[in-house]
Amino acid sequence: MPQDSIIVKETLDAKVTEETSGERHLNQYHIQRVLGSGSFGIVHLSLDADSNTLVAIKEFSKSKLRKQQALKNGLFIGACRGRGRGRGRGAGPANLAASGNNHAIVAKPVENPIDLVRGEIAILKKLRHRNIVKLYEVLDDPDQDSLFMVFELCEKGSLMDIGLDHPAPPLDIDLSRRYMQEMVLGIEYLHEHDIAHRDIKPDNMMISKDGTLKIVDFGVSEIFTKDTGTVVKSAGSPAFYSPEMCTARHGDLSVKPVDIWALGVTLYCMIFGVLPFSGTSLLDLYENIRVKELDKNPLTRITMDELRVHPWLSNHGKQPLITKEKNCAELVLAVTQTEVDAAVKPIHSLLTVLKAVTKLKGFGKSGAAIPHPPTGENHSK
């Protein structure tokens, strides 16, 4: 489906059903099979019967979101994912403590965990960029533990499968350059929205059917204030941490340099097929990131404006990027309260009715929310 033709629907009446054949439906979506799973939940390959388009539906556990909110001090979108030692998201160095003013949006205890992500979902639904995965809609079943997010499908999977304990076949220089250009354009677009991704890595770079790179998984992304551009808490995957994130009690973090460092680590992975930093433990990994070569100072680190005109990235002017003005032309300038309120659609579950009918008829188990089928694959996209 062409990006420009997508209309994010706001249906007020959605239902979860299961037929006697075992086929599951979520509104107009026909659930076909499991694509992967992770600590966040399950990804389902689904068919949108209205448009005859394949989509990816992420099913989240609201109770897990509530637990994560209790452990973390910031808003987040989506959920955790990661495979391999050093790749999964970490809490930062031991005894990491926040200092200074927290300019990020801070989560407060709430009864409904959906309220933790409602504002960010409203923004994501309006993002329009060819290198950022498109969120079509969000479905909430207030009677069940599931939250569903419907995304465009990236048929070719993640950029590469790499970890501290297993290398990956490196990509050729030209392909690495092309993917790096697309990453730069996508992250630049996010930064212009005052959104820091904070978990840039090959796992979160997906390839669509036509070979376009799409940035996914905003599980620890944060809105930062334009005047400071800082947050306090470390987030992301340890092997992709910047040096300033590897220091206990580091205080405010400038989020743009953090994302740019992770872009550099991802580029290294593409070209060499291994991670640039390793360690026998997380503390050892943090130490290597802090003391090994490369510029550790975020204030002198290359900026996005400098990166987009770097001779290597543009192939010495032979493959220049589109202008920043053109790349960021479709900015979300404001999100109305109506859009925030409509960001999550309620699902009127059939669970109560089905249970009553089943009890009366003496049947076995009743249909409810989409059940979790066996997850043979460990691919989390």
Which sequence positions are flagged as catalytic? 199
Give Cα separations from 47 to 27, 153, 183, 223, 263 (angstroms): 11, 10, 28, 32, 33
Maximal C-alpha separation, the chain: 74
CA 370-374-378 angle, to 5 degrees, is 110
Instruction: Check the annotation: does 58 bind a ligand.
Output: yes
Binding site membership: which residues?
58
Binding site membership for ATP: which residues?
58
